[in-house]
Amino acid sequence: MPVKVCAVSSETGKTARDLKRMKREGRKIVAVTAYDWRVGEIVDGCGVDLVLVGDSVGNVFAGLPSTVSVRMRDMEYHTRAVSRGVRNAHLCADMPFLSYQTGERDAVRNAGALLRAGARSVKMEISASRHIKAARAVTDAGIPVVAHVGLCPQSVNLYGGYGIQGCTPESADDIYRLALESREEGAVALVVECVPPALARRITSAVDIPTIGIGSGGGCDGQILVFNDLVGLTEGVPRFVRQYCEAGKIFSSAVEDYVREVREGTFPPPDGEND
Ligand code: KIV
């Protein structure tokens, strides 16, 4: 009699396999970043498919000029926090600068620490072939890798800015090659940041894993935005961002009301009035 094997997961949330199925079925993948448990819980409750604890935490949470100062202990702390709020989405955490560029051993150890903090996959910026070797080692250790190609913000000091990448035929071919090699070496998804839409489409149709675009047009299998950008908490967002509300203004107006009421003595209300 054939043995019936049931797929039982000890963890919660979508898996890399679920995301791959969404690509096959032509369903768009919606992804967003989160840095604390409550925002994790809110975006999870809105039905997003993937929550990324991005190293953009350095910019949007800590107010740093780039992501290069973000450390492993920052990523572990925020991943642990967000994991408390995320139940249904796939939780991915960024490998910060110098957590894998220094070699395969570091890559595996650091990726493992993010899994132990609650992530179900890690994202690695792939701006050179040797990063793919580190990604392969992480995959071989049993940890799903999302490969980030195109604009890799950890290399900002090499680029000299955050401009669109892949604008010449040679650089487009380089990014295309890194994307395909990442897939061959086991990546479960690709984040494609700030490349011309035609290149994003070319990558998307060449791979069987989902591509999640940011600033790369509408031809990817999904989209990702930084939470603070999409709710209007960031000032001076890139042109490709759509701000769905003005949370910065809503917060300011609430706190201004509070400041005024405390100063004029209308908050708290007179004793007994709120009972
Ligand atoms: O760190 C981050 O938030 C990211 C996304 C913008 C893709 O890498």
> Token match 């709120």: residue?
274
CB of 59 within 6 A of ligand 1: the answer is: no
Q: List, for residues 37-95, the tens digit of each pLDDT value.
A: 999 999 999 999 999 999 999 999 999 999 999 999 999 999 999 999 999 999 999 99
Structure tokens at 2: 């054939």
Of 25, 193, 235, 246, which one is the catalytic site residue? 193
Over residues 113-155, the pLDDT tens digits come to 999 999 999 999 999 999 999 999 999 999 999 999 999 999 9
Q: State which amino acid sits at residue 20.
A: K
Predicted local distance difference test score (pLDDT) of residue 11:
72
> Is pLDDT above 60 for 275?
no
Side chain identity, residue 71: R
How far is 31 from 12, CA to CA, in rounded Å?
A: 17
Q: pLDDT at residue 6 above 50?
A: no
- Percent composition of the chain: helix, strand, coil (DSSP 3-state, to 5): 40, 15, 45
Band (pLDDT 50/70/90 cuts) for residue 2 is low
The ligand 1 atom at the shortest distance from the C-alpha of residue 125 is 8
Alpha helices in the chain (DSSP H): 16-24, 37-45, 57-60, 72-83, 104-116, 129-140, 156-159, 169-184, 197-206, 227-230, 247-264
Query: Which residue, among 97, 101, 95, has the nearest Cα to 114 in the 3D structure?
Result: 95
Tell me the per-residue pLDDT of 211-260, one tens digit each, with 9 for 90 and over: 999 999 999 999 999 999 999 999 999 999 999 999 999 999 999 999 99
> How many whole angstroms from 59 Cα to the centroid of ligand 1?
10
Q: By alpha-carbon position, which residue is closest to atom 5 of ligand 1?
A: 54
Other C-beta atoms closer than 10 Å to the C-beta of 84 total 13
